[in-house]
Structure 1
Amino acid sequence: MKAFRMLHRSFLLLFAIVIISLVTLVHVSITNIVAEQSRAQQQSLSPAVSLIVEQLLKPLHVSEVLGKSQEVEDLLNANTLDEKAVFSTLERLQSEFDLFFFLASEKVRIQYDVDGSKRSLTEGDVSWYFKYKDLPQNKVADIGKWEDPHFFIDIKIFNDYGEFLGFFGIGKSLRSFVNIFNTYKQQFGYDFLFVDENGDIMLSSDPQLMADNSNFTNLSELAWYASLPNDVQQQRDLNNRLITIEHEDYLVAEVKLNQFNWTVYLLSPLQKRQSEISQGFIISVVTLLVVIFSLFLMVYHLLYYFRRGINADIFIRSSYSLPPREEMESYYLKLMDQHQSVSVILVDVDNFSHLSDTYGRNVADGVLDKVASYLSSQLNETDVLGRWSSEEFIILRPLSGPHDALEFAQQLRYGIATLCGPESRPELKITASFGVSFTATPRPMAEVTINAEDALYQAKRDGCNLVRMQLIE
């Protein structure tokens, strides 16, 4: 009983120490509010990067992958262009990817749009084709179709002999960007400006700044930009710069979009960020106090009612309970029968042989268990996870297209990279490489997985901890 009272006093003393430490933390944090503001600004970049990937880089990747397909090359390289086949292909791609597609043929000098329209590519009448044809770049981003302005990604197509065949491209209506930017502005509070190398605003969260009838707004036309020092305007270095727009202070963050030779500026209201930091800090401190107090109460009652030692539960390796490679074939057939389309994701633990040779098989198995448990926790109820080899896993994912599967694989890759090592080696860095493929037509599982394996090997060759996709031609 005496020992129990001593334990009770020890807990109370420890709780008092924690309270004093928290009060000190509050004092230090308030004096460093400027540093917290900078941290919050950096965190605000994360959703902006997600938007850029989803709305710009994903269409770019789609256009690059499809532009390399034999189908597109054959259409443009045919001696007699089959217009029916061209429109059929464009319509099929639109239904699969929900994007505006077009083909521009060098042989017949005609542009075919997915909406069924076509136009002659006459020099002096159509400027973009001849302007971009002579550029050294094989991909170009621009704004066009002025009766309904679109953002276009134009990919040059060549045959096996290096002869220029024309352009294949993707378009998105500027109205869709306005709606998406408005949603982000309401959720995160900041404005977007996508600016090219000439200072022209290509995309913006402000509809009044969007291009109209081939007229672009330049940064120099904005009042707040014109008020900046001349050297800042010349270099266009606005990162972490404080500006004032209509009597409200904004902090500018800058992201380079090298794929299009653009710069993205994020204008974040400073007052909103300060309010978010203060509110978030108070909520964090109160929550931490409640959690700590609850833990003390729980430990106190556990010690009171349970005085004997607790034996560790028997642990069965999660990776060993997964269906093996030979069983995944039946899952694949069942999913194809139910959903008519399946994405296949192969996951390979990087440097597994080195881990096993350096730290032993138990540590390597612990890494597999960590990865298997994490993958299992991220799947939908329709997904199937299995073993593919000694250090590889396979995920069968219906109800999602190839690029949804690619984005999901990117999320898994990032999640695995944040895992700590097994209990015996928590400092180990765990990463994995991913290969993605997809089928929407009945075909053997081996035909889909071989494309996923090729993509996985490409991820390994490119440096590991990467995601690559290879669609079936």
Structure 2
Amino acid sequence: MNTFRTLHRSILLLFAVVVIAIVTLVHFSVNKIVAEQSRAQQQSLSPAISLIVNQLLKPLHVSEALGRSTELVALMDSEELDVPEIQSALARLEDEFGMKFFIASEKARMQYNSDGTNIPLIKGKVSWYFKYKKLPADRVADIGKWEDTHFYIDIKIYNKDNEFLGFFGIAKSLKSFISIFDTYKQQYGYDFLFVDEQGDIMLSSESSLMAEYSDFTNLSELPWFASLPVDVKDQRALNNRLVTINQQEYLIAEVKLNQFNWTVYLLSPLDKRQADISQAFVVSVVTLLVVVFSLFLMIYHLLYYFRKDMQPEMVVRKSQRLPDRPGIEMQYKELLEAYSSISVVIAGIDNFAVINDTYGRNTGDEVLDKVAGNLLASIRTKDIIGRWSSEEFIILLPETGPHEAMDIAESLRVGLATMDTSDLQSQIQITGSFGVSFSASSKSLNELTANAEDALYQARRDGSNRVCKQLIS
């Protein structure tokens, strides 16, 4: 009877495990698909945002910052313009920033370029100066210089009496944009369209759509745009819309570039994203089927050995179950693919060598286990913790800025300092020091941890039981 009862319970347990595994399979697969869709969307947008910042917003901020300098205003506001000094200053800026600069003087009605050339600003011959001078906007982005087409950022300059002195700006050859866009297209597979308020395409990853000899391609001239419903074309509301280009489906993401009154359309090929999502789904299904099969094997062995006394479960300390350095490095590479920024925290137990020497290795292991358990219970579900050295732990905080990482580390520090140690020998007081580092780019783990370890050593030099950070310069 006892044998039958044990067998009956084991079969019920097997049935419950199978049901739970199937439910988990469905739930995990759905979550994986949603996560993969979000990851694919983020992977397509992140490089685009990086390109916009580096190629458009950075030159804009550089020109605005330089345009406010008293030296530049003084050069443009002097009664007699010192042309050699102006051209020398522009040449220095070109050498320093690697971009073309110019000054268009209202007093001299001349445009001075960093390459040493001068252009008279004559009505009827130079239209941009007089057109943009009348505009209320203090900054304008435009395409010009048609013999070698350039992208320009023009900043209006005023003196302290608010008198208009002319324009200061930056020029970049469209050839450089074509090269950069082509690199991005080959790497990520999507196209860019930078469109102004009138629908004219100012910049594009498709070189044939670039402006040439003042002839702009309008968005309405593109076949895929012309095929859209009238209300969509009128409002130019294309975000998350599917379009067909050359018999291939693309998903459009829309980003407003308010600094120039432009809209950026990012066209991502759908077949690549579907392949990534399908691959992730297959991997999830196979993984969970392996888990289910393993559970069947486990139950089988339980049924086979149910008459035998079970051996006591070997106790494995929490600190020994944490991933080591190779495991952390592998998980860090996975986080780099899923998130755009990562903070790293190195946590060290204060005076751990003294605890080992005073109370013995067994007590030291108990302290490690207690600290590991406290840290594990305190971090977020998406965070990863591992062993870094004999007395140090490493915590990876994905999608977490340096200020938030400092707050998390401070919370962990307080948690260790206030932890109940009554079960330890002589009620040892445990504290920890923490070093924080951060990266918003694909830095190596060694580079991040080097800065975090430096910050940890600084915390210990400052008296321990504190948090310090050191960011990558």
| TM-score bin (small chain) | 0.5 to 0.7
- AA paired with 1:23? L
What is the Cα deviation at residue 24 of structure 1? 2.5
What is the Cα deviation at residue 282 of structure 1? 3.3
Of 349, 367, 371, which aligns to 1:312?
367
CA–CA separation in structure 2 for the residues paired with 1:102 and 1:246: 42
Structure 1 pair 380–282 and aligned structure 2 pair: CA distance change class (3 A)? same
Structure 1 pair 82–43 and aligned structure 2 pair: CA distance change class (3 A)? same
Of 23, 26, 40, which aligns to 2:25?
23
Alignment of 1:12-411 (within 5 A): 19-25=21-27, 28=30, 37=37, 40-41=40-41, 43-283=43-283, 304=314, 310-313=365-368, 362=414, 372-375=435-438, 379=448
CA–CA separation in structure 1 for the residues paired with 2:154 and 2:148: 17
CA–CA separation in structure 2 for the residues paired with 1:237 and 1:193: 14
What is the Cα deviation at residue 40 of structure 1? 3.3
CA–CA separation in structure 1 for the residues paired with 2:252 and 2:176: 24
- AA paired with 1:111? Q
Tell me if the contact between 2:102 and 2:168 (Cα under 8 Å) persists in the aligned partners: yes
Deviations 1:219-243 (A, max 9, x none): 1111111111222111111111111
CA–CA separation in structure 1 for the residues paired with 2:293 and 2:85: 70
What is the Cα deviation at residue 304 of structure 1? 3.7
Under a length normalisation based on structure 1, what TM-score does the superposition of the two structures give? 0.62
Tell me if the contact between 2:436 and 2:469 (Cα under 8 Å) persists in the aligned partners: no
- AA paired with 1:204? S
CA–CA separation in structure 2 for the residues paired with 1:249 and 1:280: 21
What is the Cα deviation at residue 27 of structure 1? 5.8
Tell me if the contact between 1:102 and 1:169 (Cα under 8 Å) persists in the aligned partners: yes
Structure 1, unaligned stretches of length 5 or more? 1-8, 316-346, 398-404, 406-473
What is the Cα deviation at residue 59 of structure 1? 1.2
What is the Cα deviation at residue 28 of structure 1? 4.3
Tell me if the contact between 1:348 and 1:393 (Cα under 8 Å) persists in the aligned partners: no
- AA paired with 2:125? D
Taking only the aligned residue pairs, the percentage that are identical comes to 56
Alignment of 1:416-435 (within 5 A): none
Which is bigger in relative contact order (C-alpha 8 A, separation at least 6)?
Answer: 2
Structure 1 pair 350–28 and aligned structure 2 pair: CA distance change class (3 A)? closer
- AA paired with 1:187? Q
Secondary structure of 1:312's partner? helix
What is the Cα deviation at residue 110 of structure 1? 0.9
CA–CA separation in structure 1 for the residues paired with 2:104 and 2:151: 16
Structure 1 pair 303–117 and aligned structure 2 pair: CA distance change class (3 A)? farther
Structure 1 pair 56–15 and aligned structure 2 pair: CA distance change class (3 A)? farther
What is the Cα deviation at residue 101 of structure 1? 1.1
What is the Cα deviation at residue 72 of structure 1? 1.0
Figure out how many residues of one structure are paired with residues of the other and give that number.
353
Tell me if the contact between 1:348 and 1:392 (Cα under 8 Å) persists in the aligned partners: no
What is the Cα deviation at residue 281 of structure 1? 3.5
CA–CA separation in structure 2 for the residues paired with 1:257 and 1:365: 48
Structure 1 pair 392–93 and aligned structure 2 pair: CA distance change class (3 A)? farther
- AA paired with 2:437? Y
Structure 1 pair 167–380 and aligned structure 2 pair: CA distance change class (3 A)? farther
- AA paired with 1:127? S
What is the Cα deviation at residue 165 of structure 1? 1.0
Deviations 1:98-126 (A, max 9, x none): 11111111111111111111111111111
Secondary structure of 1:249's partner? strand
CA–CA separation in structure 1 for the residues paired with 2:287 and 2:97: 44
What is the Cα deviation at residue 277 of structure 1? 1.1
Larger Rg, first or second structure (1 or 2): 2
Structure 1 pair 371–71 and aligned structure 2 pair: CA distance change class (3 A)? farther
Structure 1 pair 84–72 and aligned structure 2 pair: CA distance change class (3 A)? same
CA–CA separation in structure 1 for the residues paired with 2:247 and 2:124: 46
Under a length normalisation based on structure 2, what TM-score does the superposition of the two structures give? 0.62
Residue equivalent to 2:347:
none
Tell me if the contact between 1:192 and 1:264 (Cα under 8 Å) persists in the aligned partners: yes
What is the Cα deviation at residue 41 of structure 1? 3.4
- AA paired with 1:141? A
Residue equivalent to 2:426:
none
